[in-house]
Amino acid sequence: MKKKSMKNIVEKFQISVSTAKKYVAMSETEINSLDFPKNYRKRDSYMNDWLNIIFKMMDDGHSNETIYFYILRQPCFHESKRKRLEEYIYVIGKNNFPNRTPFNAKNLKELVIPPEVIVLKRTEILKYLLTCNPKVKKDEKVGMYIDMIKDKYPVATRVESIFKEFHGTIMGNKPNNLEYFLKKYEYSEIKAFCNGIKKDIDPVKNAISLTVSSGFVEGNNNKFKLLKRIVYGRSGLVNLTKKCKLAFLPQSEDFSLFTLI
């Protein structure tokens, strides 16, 4: 078949060139078999159990947000499937209800939380509680409500207390205080953490008592791993070596870029 004819087929039926070639090259037997399409089994999905509920609630006029939070609060719905739920509400609404406003999960916060409600993220609260350096400026918004949070959730006070006690032990100069800390919390919420330290207690004690640090070595290791990931799969070992030298050696007095290249 001429290229011009193939181009006309592609434009007329809005299909790709490879698909057009596939149908043009089909035998008469294959063409006749198209009259009896195969019944493929529908692929199983976790969301199959919720499709009818989504469609029925949309048909009854419920908003996308109502459907989303109704299903999300069902005991049998798994929290890890939240993203799939968002996708299915969007697709079902778009394909079956053309006049319906498409679902956009990004707008949920603005739609659900009233403007007068103050939202504090867990990461912001933890950062405030676990900051030990007095030179680091803490979040003023969290600071306004931290006493209220501690009063409502005593676990916040306990987390802060345990962390700062451990931080003081590690940053101090008395290795024996580590054993006191481990004995004090060996049957607490951080039991697994304490058991892990006990297995490697000598290096941890050395980190407390000695002035030397492995930070320089570990920092260079991290830098090397980053460079390795940048060129991984795109360059050979020789170029990886050059890349590393280019990152580490520019400070050297006898460094020559021309020799490296």
Give the model confidence (pLDDT) of 203-213 as tens digits.
Answer: 899 888 888 87
CA 73 to chain centre: 23
pLDDT beyond 90 at 191: yes
Q: Which two tokens stand for residue 14?
A: 């809005």
Q: Quick one: average pLDDT of 240-245?
A: 70
In one-letter notation, the amino acid at residue 223 is K
Helix then strand then coil, in percent of the chain rounded to 5, is 65, 0, 35
CA–CA gap between residue 204 and residue 211 (Å, rounded): 13
The model's pTM: 0.50
SS3 216: helix
- Choose the weakest-confidence range: 15-24, 187-196, 214-223, 235-244: 235-244
251: pLDDT confidence band, cut at 50, 70 and 90? low
pLDDT beyond 80 at 164: yes
CB atoms within 10 A of CB 128: 20
Cβ(59)–Cβ(91) under 8 Å?
no
Q: Quick one: average pLDDT of 7-29?
A: 84
pLDDT of residue 183: 94
